[in-house]
């Protein structure tokens, strides 16, 4: 189709001119046989191109015939142009819906982690969790500020990045395009099952619901590290209940999971110790001093709209969750979060030893400058170590929150970020949204009758804890818009081409018909016309020579002719004759 449209503007005018001019000459010869005005015959026999009717309008009186010939010849360029504009490419849009699974860090996902890691491994965890946490810090600045992480997982923006001035009726806020590391909740993106292949087929749009922790503005003070056993940075919780009070642990973990509270005799679950947010402490030792930064930790539940266009995905809108109503003051640190603090401490501190190494850890370098590559070379002496007391407390809190969420994802889905996830969706548990994850694996009577608790998970949860499940997967219904490229007719140009072709065929058929009815020889050829009754040009020597131009051209084909001069005793005149009968023309000679 494309090749035909390219050739059309060249081939069509050639065919049009050849057919139309010959047909007009046939019609003119037929008219001459019957009698015709000279002006009509002249117009029919001398119209060989689009420009000829225009010249006729100038050189001879305008007539219906001349105007008709002009319309006929205008069809030639219009037909040629229509050939190249007959079709155009467009896309057929088809919308389908498909299910995706993504990391559930709601109640069910957290219970999965608690039972699968804390219970099964007695609170221990693989060293590779620490390694992938450190790997997140090694990503380039372009990746850290971009919409996806190093492995193509879509990053979740912080709720504060939404443009509140453009919020719609449903509470959605467009995500501001601010290329800052602090715009995102984590250095990792959201592992999503099936998205890699789906986005190759077309544009994808879907929403995810997720939870992230955030810290309040850091409060700092200095103390001596004389009694400290570790250098670098340690992280701990000053008032978490996991090891200090079973009642407190159960009450806060139940609220964090959204489960009904178990009534304990003599325990008031509404006392401040059971309702206030917990406090995290970052201890950074430099020399003989330690900077201590403390912040209260809370959680935010958000919904994020993700769009993939031409294979590139990004979060485009965000709003507070409309389904997850859990209190914000209860976090993973009321359940299994102590191992996250242990992981971060392990990655950022070391036991006191002789000074065989020095410098700040990757996390501390990230606290100091989130855009810098968190690595020190050791060349040209020791650089100044990072002192977190010199970092803006608000900025420190945001960056510390990013690392907490990064570490949380490293524990919840350490094998999921590099892709190649199982495509069997049943591995990830039943379809659900994070807020209703526990209800998806138990019946409502068990849920509301206090038969399930942070320590007593639903039986179906144990079926999910296996080597095949990289995480518990919440479900989302994605909209896939595919575009199929097709040819569409340009109807205006199609009509023009049809009209032009019909006119050409009609004139051509008319030319053939009148030619069959024409007895008069073709005497209108301009060159052959010079040979009639020409004493300076001999034909066959017969008494009668043919009148048809084609036959005369065959007879005279080998003769050499020229326009030259002869002397007829009345003066020198210019004639058309055989080269042997005439002499060449000369300058300055008045010919008649």
For residues 370 and 399, is the Cβ–Cβ distance under 8 A? yes
Best CA proximity match to 70, nearest among 92, 89, 51: 51
Asked if 27 and 76 sit in the same domain, the reply is yes
For residue 373, the enclosing domain spans 93-259+300-485
Asked if 77 and 226 sit in the same domain, the reply is no
Given this model, what pLDDT does residue 140 score? 93
Given this model, what pLDDT does residue 230 score? 64
Question: Rounded to the nearest 5°, which phi and psi values hold at 325?
Answer: -110, 20
Best CA proximity match to 210, nearest among 194, 191, 193: 191
**Residue 273 located in a structural domain:** no
Positive or negative torsion for Cα 388, 394, 400, 406: negative
Long-range contacts of 377-382 (CB under 8 A, 24+ apart): 382/358
Residue-wise pLDDT tens for the chain (592 aa)? 778 888 888 888 888 888 888 888 888 888 888 888 888 888 888 888 888 888 887 777 778 888 888 888 888 888 888 888 888 888 889 999 999 999 999 999 999 999 888 888 877 888 899 999 999 999 999 999 999 999 999 999 999 999 999 999 999 999 987 679 999 999 999 999 999 999 999 999 999 999 999 999 999 888 876 555 567 889 999 888 755 567 788 889 999 999 888 777 677 888 888 899 999 999 988 777 788 999 999 999 999 999 999 999 999 999 999 999 999 999 999 999 999 999 999 998 876 555 556 778 899 999 999 998 888 887 776 667 888 889 999 999 999 999 999 999 999 999 999 888 888 898 899 999 999 999 888 877 777 776 677 888 888 888 787 767 789 999 999 999 998 888 888 899 889 989 988 988 998 899 899 888 888 888 888 888 888 888 888 876 666 778 888 888 888 888 888 999 898 777 888 989 888 888 899 988 888 8
**Residue 191 located in a structural domain:** yes
Asked if 193 and 336 sit in the same domain, the reply is yes
Positive or negative torsion for Cα 370, 373, 377, 380: negative
Inter-CA distances, 503 with 5, 14, 50, 75, 462, Å? 21, 15, 15, 8, 81
For residues 288 and 225, is the Cβ–Cβ distance under 8 A? yes
Best CA proximity match to 390, nearest among 236, 233, 232, 220: 220
Asked if 350 and 480 sit in the same domain, the reply is yes
Given this model, what pLDDT does residue 227 score? 58
Rounded CA-CA distance 243/455 in Å is: 14
Asked if 370 and 345 sit in the same domain, the reply is yes
**Residue 60 located in a structural domain:** yes
Rounded CA-CA distance 536/575 in Å is: 8
Question: Rounded to the nearest 5°, which phi and psi values hold at 74?
Answer: -65, -25
**Residue 269 located in a structural domain:** no
Q: Distance of alpha carbon 123 from its chain centroid, rounded?
A: 44
For residues 254 and 453, is the Cβ–Cβ distance under 8 A? yes
Asked if 419 and 346 sit in the same domain, the reply is yes
Asked if 237 and 109 sit in the same domain, the reply is yes
- Greatest extent of the chain over all pairs of C-alpha atoms, in Å: 150
**Side-chain half-sphere exposure of 560, counting CA atoms within 13 A:** 6
Asked if 341 and 208 sit in the same domain, the reply is yes
Rounded CA-CA distance 160/402 in Å is: 14
For residues 105 and 412, is the Cβ–Cβ distance under 8 A? yes
DSSP track, 290-325: EEEEEEEEEEEEEEEEEEEETTEEEEEEEEE-SS--
Neighbours of 84 (CB within 10 A): 16
Cα angle 518, 522, 526 (rounded to 5 degrees) comes to 150
* DSSP 8-state symbol, 565: E
Dihedral in degrees, nearest 10, Cα atoms 192, 198, 203, 206: -30
Asked if 577 and 449 sit in the same domain, the reply is no
Number of domains in the chain: 3
**Residue 272 located in a structural domain:** no
Given this model, what pLDDT does residue 244 score? 53
**Residue 208 located in a structural domain:** yes
The helices-and-strands tally (H runs, E runs) of the chain is 18, 13
**Residue 294 located in a structural domain:** no
Given this model, what pLDDT does residue 209 score? 97
Q: Which residues pair with 193 in a beta bridge?
A: 101
Element (H, E) at 32: helix 2-34
Which of 500, 520, 540 is where one domain is finished? 520
Asked if 325 and 429 sit in the same domain, the reply is yes
Which of 430, 465, 485 is where one domain is finished? 485
Rounded CA-CA distance 248/365 in Å is: 36
Best CA proximity match to 283, nearest among 333, 231, 347, 340: 231
Question: Rounded to the nearest 5°, which phi and psi values hold at 564?
Answer: -140, -160
Rounded CA-CA distance 574/586 in Å is: 10
* DSSP 8-state symbol, 51: H
Asked if 532 and 584 sit in the same domain, the reply is yes
Asked if 45 and 144 sit in the same domain, the reply is no
Helix axes 127-137, 393-412, angle to 10 degrees: 140
**Residue 177 located in a structural domain:** yes
């Amino acid at each position: 189709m494309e090749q035909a449209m390219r050739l059309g503007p060249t081939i069509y005018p050639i065919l049009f001119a050849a057919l139309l001019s010959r047909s007009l000459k046939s019609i003119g010869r037929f008219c001459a046989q019957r009698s015709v005005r000279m002006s009509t015959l002249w117009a029919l026999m001398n119209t060989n191109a689009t420009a000829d009717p225009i010249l006729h309008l100038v050189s001879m009186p305008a007539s219906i015939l001349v105007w008709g010939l002009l319309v006929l010849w205008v069809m030639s360029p219009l037909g040629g142009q229509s050939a190249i504009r007959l079709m155009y490419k467009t896309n057929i849009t088809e919308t389908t819906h498909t299910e995706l699974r993504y990391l559930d860090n709601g109640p069910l996902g957290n219970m999965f982690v608690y039972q699968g890691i804390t219970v099964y491994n007695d609170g221990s965890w693989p060293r590779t969790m620490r390694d992938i946490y450190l790997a997140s810090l090694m990503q380039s600045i372009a990746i850290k500020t971009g919409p996806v992480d190093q492995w193509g997982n879509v990053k979740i923006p912080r709720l504060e990045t939404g443009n509140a001035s453009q919020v719609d009726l449903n509470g959605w806020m467009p995500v501001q395009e601010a290329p800052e590391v602090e715009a995102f909740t984590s250095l990792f993106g959201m592992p999503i099952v099936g998205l890699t292949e789906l986005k190759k087929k077309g544009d994808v749009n879907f929403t995810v619901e997720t939870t992230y922790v955030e810290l309040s503005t850091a409060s700092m003070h200095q103390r001596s590290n004389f009694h400290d056993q570790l250098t670098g940075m340690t992280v701990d919780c000053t008032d978490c209940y996991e090891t200090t009070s079973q009642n407190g642990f159960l009450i806060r973990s139940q609220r964090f999971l959204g489960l009904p509270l178990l009534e304990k005799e003599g325990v008031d679950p509404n006392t401040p110790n059971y309702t206030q947010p917990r406090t995290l402490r970052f201890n950074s030792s430099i020399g003989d001093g330690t900077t201590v930064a403390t912040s209260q930790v809370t959680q935010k539940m958000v919904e994020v709209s993700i769009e993939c266009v031409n294979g590139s995905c990004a979060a485009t809108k965000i709003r507070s969750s409309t389904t997850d109503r859990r209190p914000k003051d209860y976090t993973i640190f009321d359940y299994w979060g102590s191992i996250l603090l242990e992981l971060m401490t392990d990655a950022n501190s070391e036991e006191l030893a002789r000074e065989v190494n020095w410098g700040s850890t990757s996390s501390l370098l990230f606290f100091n400058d989130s855009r810098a590559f968190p690595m020190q070379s050791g060349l040209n002496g020791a650089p100044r170590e990072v002192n977190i007391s010199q970092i803006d407390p608000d900025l420190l809190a945001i960056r510390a929150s990013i690392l907490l969420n990064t570490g949380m994802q490293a524990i919840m889905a350490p094998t999921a970020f590099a892709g190649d996830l199982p495509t069997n969706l049943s591995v990830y548990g039943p379809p659900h949204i994070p807020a209703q994850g526990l209800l998806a694996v138990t019946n409502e009577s068990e849920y509301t009758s206090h038969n399930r608790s942070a320590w007593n998970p639903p039986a179906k949860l144990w079926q999910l804890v296996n080597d095949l499940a990289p995480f518990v997967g919440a479900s989302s219904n994605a909209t896939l818009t595919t575009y199929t490229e097709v040819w569409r007719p340009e109807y205006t140009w199609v009509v023009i081409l049809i009209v032009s072709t019909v006119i050409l065929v009609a004139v051509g058929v008319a030319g053939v018909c009148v030619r069959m009815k024409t007895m008069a020889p073709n005497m209108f050829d301009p060159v052959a016309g010079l040979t009639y009754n020409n004493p300076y040009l001999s034909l066959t020597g017969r008494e009668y020579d043919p009148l048809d131009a084609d036959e005369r051209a065959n007879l005279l084909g080998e003769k050499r002719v020229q326009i030259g001069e002869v002397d007829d005793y009345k003066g020198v005149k210019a004639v058309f004759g055989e080269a042997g009968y005439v002499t060449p023309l000369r300058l300055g000679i008045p010919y008649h």
